[in-house]
Structure 1
Amino acid sequence: MPQSARTMHIDFPNELQSQVDDLAAQTGRSNTDIVTDAVESYLRNQARWQQDMDAALTDVDNGLGYAGDDVLAWLESWGEDAELPQPSLVRKQ
């Protein structure tokens, strides 16, 4: 079943419009499909970021956090064979 749609006028910078045009030509997709997919992806990512931020702020409000040294050690281990697990939340005193 087709979704209802509304027309929206967007002024793209020339370089961005060229990139959309190029991708449309390479993939055989319409500019509309490419831009719609891009906006949907952006909105999903922003919603996920907001959920993660809200959860982090709730943890802070509840006195929970991460030990800074543990986080730095974890980050430094990324990509290593012995990558450390994500640190656990700890109750702040």
Structure 2
Amino acid sequence: MSDFTSLALELDRETQRRLNRLAEARQLSPHLMMNEAIAQYLEREEKSEVFRQETLDSWNEYQATGLHVTGEEVIAWLETWGEENELPAPECHK
């Protein structure tokens, strides 16, 4: 049993021409190139969606608790990274 399914995709003529030209230059099938392009797009967008959701979760937590760390506190901490007297990570506060 195959894990593949068919999907019809309509491309405008210019996009089709560009796809065929690049596939020929790379000695790949247009089908393989489309599969790879879709896989890369999904990977990128899934990561973006996770980041977006984490951002919303963080904002909602801040709205509920008021706990935060200022940019200045983070910068002061980061500036000590790798030094002998490295500071601990700043604590969240109101």
Question: What TM-score, normalized to structure 2?
Answer: 0.64
Name the residue aligned to 2:8. Answer: 9
**3-state secondary structure, aligned to 2:17:** helix
Instruction: Choose between structure 1 and 2: higher strand proportion.
Output: 1
Q: Which runs of 5+ in 2 are unaligned?
A: 73-88
Q: Among the aligned pairs, what percent are the same residue?
A: 15
How many correspondences in the alignment? 75
Larger radius of gyration: 2
Following superposition, which runs of at least 4 residues in structure 1 exceed 4 angstroms of deviation?
Answer: 64-69, 88-93
Q: How far apart, CA to CA, are the structure 2 residues paired with 1:65 and 1:92? A: 5
TM-fit CA distance, 1:62: 1.3
Q: 1:54 to 1:28 in 2, by over 3 A?
A: same
* 1:4 CA drift (Å): 2.5
Query: Which residue does the alignment assign to 1:40?
Result: 39
Q: List runs of 5+ in structure 1 lacking aligned partners.
A: 70-87
Preserved contact between residue 24 and residue 31 of structure 1 (Cα < 8 Å): yes
One-letter amino acid matched to 1:18: R
Computed over aligned residues only, the root mean square deviation of the Cα atoms, in angstroms, reads 2.8
